[in-house]
Amino acid sequence: MDGIGAGSGGGIPVVNIISVRQVTKTFYEHQPNEFTAVKEISIDIAAGGTTVLAGPSGSGKTTLLALMGLISRPTSGRISILGKETSLLGERLRTLFRRQHVGFIFQHFQLIGDLNARDNLDLVLYQEGLPLKSIRARRDQLLERFGLLGKASYKAAVLSGGEKQRLAIARSLMNDPEIVLVDEPTAHLDTALSLDVIELFRQLNRGGKTLVIASHDPLVVNSGIAARIIDLRDGRVVQES
């Protein structure tokens, strides 16, 4: 629950941007198909770095990411982000907080296929109530940065895999978050595109964003992008490096 604490390894005080304490997440509680995805995990994520959550599928990476991104609520335990204890926040305040500080990139992109690229980005900021001009400016800036300006009016469903990935990344940045959480970025991409995407993440990191990437792709794990790699298996932390 501390905002400031020691990271693993050094004696240098590091600011912990995400603090997970004894968190457990159980799905379908009290039902026959009940299962626990995350078991009493405690992790600190330092600000400004890139952390990779590695492990085979089913190890709880996605769930842990969702918990850190405040998309999901833990069954028990505490999660604090940017110094704020978030576990008991009501849905409204949690969503507000997330909207302001967290960007999420989903495994299957989760774009709205019927909408064009522009609308997919715009709708992130609708509930913030910003003036239309600023929303558009930000959106166009991101489209340009990710090379999607030409496809701005195309429906998301007709974009190629690589374009979808870039659009998903752009969307996660619309609200200018401090933290970006990424779930299996290279799952639908070939090697060339994967390397492109990894490079993009490096840039984001240099830009000051804290990244947490969940991936079992060796390309990501061994790319050197991560300051820290956390191995997960069956919902528990097995190894850190």
Nearest distance in Å: CB 92, other proteins:
5
Which of residues 106 and 146 has its CB atom nearest to other proteins in the complex? 106
Q: Binding other proteins by CB under 8 A: which of 151, 164, 171, 228?
A: 171
Contacts of 113 (CB under 8 A, 6+ apart): 155, 156, 157
Return the range that interacts with other proteins (CB under 8 A); candidates 74-82, 140-148, 159-167, 220-228: 74-82
Stretch that binds other proteins, among 108-116, 137-145, 192-200, 221-229 (CB under 8 A): 108-116
Residue 104 sits at the vertex; the CA angle it makes with 25 and 187, to the nearest 5 degrees, is 90
Closest to 126 in 3D by CA, of 148, 155, 95, 152? 95
Phi and psi angles of residue 173, each rounded to the nearest 5 degrees, phi first = -100, -5
Complex with other proteins: residue 72 or 205, whichever CB lies closer: 72
Q: DSSP string of 24-76?
A: EEEESTTSTT-EEEEEEEEEEEETTSEEEEE--TTSSHHHHHHHHTTSS--SE
In the list 15, 130, 149, 152, the residue contacting other proteins (rule: CB under 8 A) is 130
Q: Which residues ranging from 179 to 238 are in contact with other proteins (CB under 8 A)? A: none
Q: Residue 163 Cβ, how far from other proteins at the closest point, in Å?
A: 18
Identify which range of 101-109, 144-152, 193-201, 230-238 contacts other proteins by CB under 8 A.
101-109
Q: 4-6 and 84-85: which strand pairing?
A: unpaired
Least Å from the CB of residue 104 to other proteins:
7
- Contact of 79 with 21, CB cutoff 8 Å: yes
Torsion region of 28: left, alpha or beta (phi above 0 gives left; psi -120 to 50 gives alpha): left
Contact call for residue 45 and other proteins (CB under 8 A): no
Binding footprint of other proteins on the chain (CB under 8 A): 29-30, 66, 71-76, 87-93, 95-96, 98-99, 104, 106, 108, 110-114, 119, 123-124, 126-132, 171, 175
